[in-house]
Amino acid sequence: MVGRDPEGRLELAVEGARSGHGASVDFRRTTLRGISSSPLIRACGPRGTLLDATAGLGGDSFILAAAGFSVTAVERSPLVAAVLRDGLARAAAEPRTATIAARIELREGDARTIIAASQSVWSVIYLDPMYPVKSGSALAPKPIRLVREAVGDDLDSRLLFCAAAQASCGRVVVKRPHHAESLWCEPDLVFESKLARYDTYLRQGKSLRAMAQGIES
Ligand SMILES: C[S@@+](CC[C@H](N)C(=O)[O-])C[C@H]1O[C@@H](n2cnc3c(N)ncnc32)[C@H](O)[C@@H]1O
């Protein structure tokens, strides 16, 4: 469900939770120091247009926009999209974050449909589907648990990879937990961070389209 916290922000919460105990979006808290050298930004390569096909609560979209990408952020859960839209509106009204928020266009819908219907050519398509659940692993942070509660397990993420690989884009970057296999084949490049890795598939040398056809067959 979605409610309002005591400061009036829209928040994602479990049924019956008290106001203020959910997850809202507040980009004022996002640390931007050192982002240019972060594995996420290095994986996404030269600045350009980027489709974040799994926007969630927009944390990665905001960092990518702060680094200079023009981001189209796509989220298919109406509840999650509403909370993100609320956070983006507040970021647009704050002098410190307004320029960054202006680089993010939020679209609600399934990224597979949006990619299929679009004429756009993106420099990068970025995917961060829900991680596969691993028994015995540490409890995920609350916002991630609440998003999973709202959207489920993203079991179609290989099909989303396939759609991304068939789209006009220079590279596809997939965020994965260290314990999980690649979404499809071995990536061309891997950028490691403490908590995740970024599997990077490049257009040059290898046809992403052929890889996607491999998935479909
Ligand atoms: C792990 S969260 C993404 C977290 C995000 N990177 C962040 O920084 O907040 C995955 C999100 O992708 C969304 N999603 C998964 N598949 C999608 C699709 N095909 N189209 C649009 N959204 C999708 C889910 O609804 C969920 O909100």
Question: What pLDDT does residue 214 have?
Answer: 64
Of 76, 62, 55, 3, the C-alpha closest to 31 is 62
Rounded to a whole number, what is the distance in angstroms from the first to the last CA of the chain?
39
Of 215, 217, 210, 179, the C-alpha closest to 196 is 179
Of 154, 156, 173, the one to substitute when testing ligand 1's pocket (max ligand atoms within 8 A of C-beta) is 154
CATH 3.40.50.150 fits 30-216, yes or no: yes
Rounded to the nearest 10 degrees, what angle do helices 208-216 and 157-166 cross at? 140
Tens of pLDDT, residues 2-22: 999 999 999 999 999 999 999
Span from the CA of 50 to the centroid of ligand 1 (angstroms): 15
**φ/ψ (deg, to 5) at 36:** -60, -30
Instruction: Pick the atom of ligand 1 nearest to 143's CA.
Output: 9
User: Which residues are CB-contacts of 98 (< 8 A; sequence separation ≥ 6)?
Assistant: 91, 92
Handedness of CA 179, 71, 184, 144 (dihedral sign): positive
Span from the CA of 144 to the centroid of ligand 1 (angstroms): 10
Span from the CA of 130 to the centroid of ligand 1 (angstroms): 7
Q: Are 38 and 44 in contact (CB under 8 A)?
A: no
Q: Are 148 and 170 in contact (CB under 8 A)?
A: no
Handedness of CA 17, 6, 4, 9 (dihedral sign): negative
Amino acid letter for position 138: A
Measured distance CA(105)–CA(75) in Å, rounded: 11
Report pTM. 0.95
Token pair for residue 162? Answer: 């396939």
Q: Check pocket membership of 176 for ligand 1, CB cut-off 6 A.
A: no
Instruction: Pick the atom of ligand 1 nearest to 56's CA.
Output: 27
Measured distance CA(89)–CA(100) in Å, rounded: 12
Q: Check pocket membership of 65 for ligand 1, CB cut-off 6 A.
A: no
Question: What pLDDT does residue 181 have?
Answer: 93
Question: What pLDDT does residue 205 have?
Answer: 54
Tens of pLDDT, residues 69-108: 999 999 999 999 999 999 999 999 999 999 999 999 999 9
